[in-house]
Structure 1
Amino acid sequence: MEELKVRVDQKKLERAANVLKCVAHPVRISIIDLLEQRERLTVSELQDVLNIEQSLLSHHLTNMRDKGVVRTQRGGKNVYYSLTDFTISNIIECINGCKTF
């Protein structure tokens, strides 16, 4: 019988845990879903779809930026948000495919 062991590097596990803690909110998962559909979006564009207060949305985006999930880029008067790594959007496929949700 093969030896049982953890197959993921400790640093990678810690990073995954931090990212998962960060995105463990319906609004944040929705933001990931929207940013996967469009490469970059402004706060106004996100707010139009999510229908939440701008201050609450900004709080979520700041948290996601601080944890390295999204990045910002200024373009004229607008600040655009985009995913730092599109593989995070795999979480949407997992949620849609999971029978317990």
Structure 2
Amino acid sequence: MFIYLNMEIKLSPEKLEKAAFILKTVAHPIRLKVIELLSGTTKMSVNELCVALDCEQSLVSHHLNNMRLKGLLSAEKQGVQVFYSLKEKELVGLLECIEKCNCNM
């Protein structure tokens, strides 16, 4: 049990496990940026994400595949292109928490 700003927070072991799983999965700047980019649209192609991230296709594909395999993203193939979207829309809240965080970073 944590007490923060006069609020009592009780998280179940299951909720803590899921949170740790998600945090480990997104714990990379490129993955966090992917969430940010996909939060502003319904879907983006790998090529669009590469341009927005200014990264090579192989690196972006590696991160996208990891996030897809862990259930955070959906992938839809259209011809030769693959389009990704957020499967877990609640991930946007994680970015909002990071934005509000006043930690000594």
Normalising by the smaller structure, the TM-score range is 0.7 to 0.9
| 1:1-101 correspondence runs (5 A) | 7-100=10-103, 101=105
Q: Which moved more, 1:74-83 or 1:14-23?
A: 74-83
What is the CA-CA distance between 1:99 and the residue it aligns to?
A: 1.5
Please, what TM-score do these two structures have when normalized by structure 2?
0.84
- Unaligned 5+ segments in structure 1 are none
Matched residue count: 98
Give 2:68's aligned amino acid: R
Q: Which structure: greater helix fraction?
A: 1
Q: Deviations over 1:20-76 (max 9, x none)?
A: 001011000000000000111110000011001111111111111111111111223
CA distance in 2 between partners of 1:52 and 1:91 (Å): 23
Q: Which runs of 4+ in 1 moved over 6 A?
A: none
Aligned-residue RMSD, C-alpha: 1.8
Identity %: 42
What is the CA-CA distance between 1:6 and the residue it aligns to?
A: 7.2
SS at match of 2:90: helix
CA distance in 1 between partners of 2:77 and 2:41 (Å): 16
